[in-house]
């Protein structure tokens, strides 16, 4: 049921990205952006850093809006991210994700972003971990924790500061859902709020 929901969401988002594409101008994609974010689920903090590469960049001009000059920049990125959060007494989670990102930016610099992708998680338990053999010998497990496969999905809104102020940054707030498996033979999920920036050094060269 949930899988179907995600699938429909992806299709919807993708089809929205293609709506009213009357005039498309392809933009150069040979650059990269850097990502830095603060992560938070409830009160538990974390950070994230990554790099994103555009795989498709296009400028969409809507036919009925050509006179007003309204246009949308649509971009698809592949990103690689390293993330960490700290949940006291539970675990620390370091996870790597590879995401497909779809971002739309309007003329005012308002952006919407949707992303999803697989990942790998390594947790570190939030306390000393003991093992006791059947003969009663007790030892402490070093760096105890688990490896999990992951899937992430998220979406959010932000602003491209370059559009109006020519600052090569983009600020974004995203709600991500991470799922980890097999977690106790089932799937663990966790909402993670991301407050981040994207630094676009290639834009400096344009000035």
Partner 1 sequence: MRKAMFLCFLLLISGCQKEKISFAEKVSDVFYVDNAGASMRVLVNGNTVTSAFILFIHGGPGVSSYFYDTDYIGRFLGDKYATVYWDQRNAGASQGNINGRNLNLDQMVEDLKKVIGILKFRYGDNISLFLVVHSFGGLIAADFMTRPDCQKMVKGLIDVDGSHNYPLNDTLTRQMLLSTGIRQISQKKNVDKWEPIIAYCNSHPGNFSLEESQQLEKYSTEAENYIDSIKPVNAVSLVLKYAIKDNIPLSSLVVNLLYSEDLIFNKELSKAQFSSELYKVTVPVLVLWGKYDFTCPLPLGQDFYNRISSTDKRFVISNYSGHNMILQDKKLFCDEVNSFVSKYR
Residues at the interface with partner 1 (CB under 8 A): 42-44, 86-92, 94, 123-132, 136, 138, 140-148, 182-190
Nearer Cβ to partner 1 (91/174): 91
Residues facing 178 on adjacent strands? 152, 190
181 vs 120: CA distance, rounded Å: 10
* CB nearer to partner 1: pick between 67 and 128: 128
Backbone φ and ψ for 27, nearest 5 degrees, come out as -110, 160
Return the number of the residue (71 or 129) whose C-beta is nearest partner 1.
129
| Least spacing, CB of residue 184 vs partner 1, in Å | 5
Least distance in Å: CB of 100 to partner 1?
Answer: 24
If the CB atoms of residues 19 and 138 are measured against partner 1, the closer one turns out to be: 138
Q: Minimum CB separation from partner 1 for residue 36, in Å?
A: 15
Q: What is the DSSP string of 137-179?
A: -EEEETT---EEEEEEEEEEEEEEHHHHH--SEEEEEEEEEEE
CB of 27 to partner 1, least distance (A): 34
Shortest CA distance to 50 belongs to which of 111, 7, 100? 100
Q: How is residue 115 written in tokens?
A: 């992303």
């Amino acid at each position: 049921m949930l899988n179907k929901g995600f699938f429909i969401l992806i299709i919807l988002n993708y089809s929205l990205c293609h709506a009213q594409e009357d005039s498309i101008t392809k933009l150069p994609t040979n650059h990269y952006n850097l990502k830095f974010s603060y992560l938070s689920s409830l009160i538990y903090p974390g950070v994230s850093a990554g790099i994103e590469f555009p795989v498709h960049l296009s400028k969409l001009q809507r036919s009925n809006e050509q006179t007003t000059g309204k246009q949308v920049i649509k971009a698809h990125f592949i990103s690689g991210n390293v993330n960490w959060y700290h949940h006291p007494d539970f675990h620390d989670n370091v996870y790597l994700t590879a995401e497909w990102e779809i971002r739309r930016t309007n003329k005012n610099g308002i952006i919407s972003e949707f992303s999803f992708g697989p990942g790998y998680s390594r947790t570190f338990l939030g306390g000393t971990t003991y093992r006791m053999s059947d003969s009663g010998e007790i030892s402490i497990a070093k760096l105890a924790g688990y490896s999990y496969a992951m899937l992430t999905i998220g979406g959010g809104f932000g602003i491209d500061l370059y559009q109006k102020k020519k600052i090569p940054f983009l600020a974004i707030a995203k709600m991500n859902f991470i799922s980890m498996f097999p977690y106790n033979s089932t799937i663990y999920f966790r909402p993670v709020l991301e407050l981040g920036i994207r630094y676009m050094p290639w834009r400096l060269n344009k000035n």
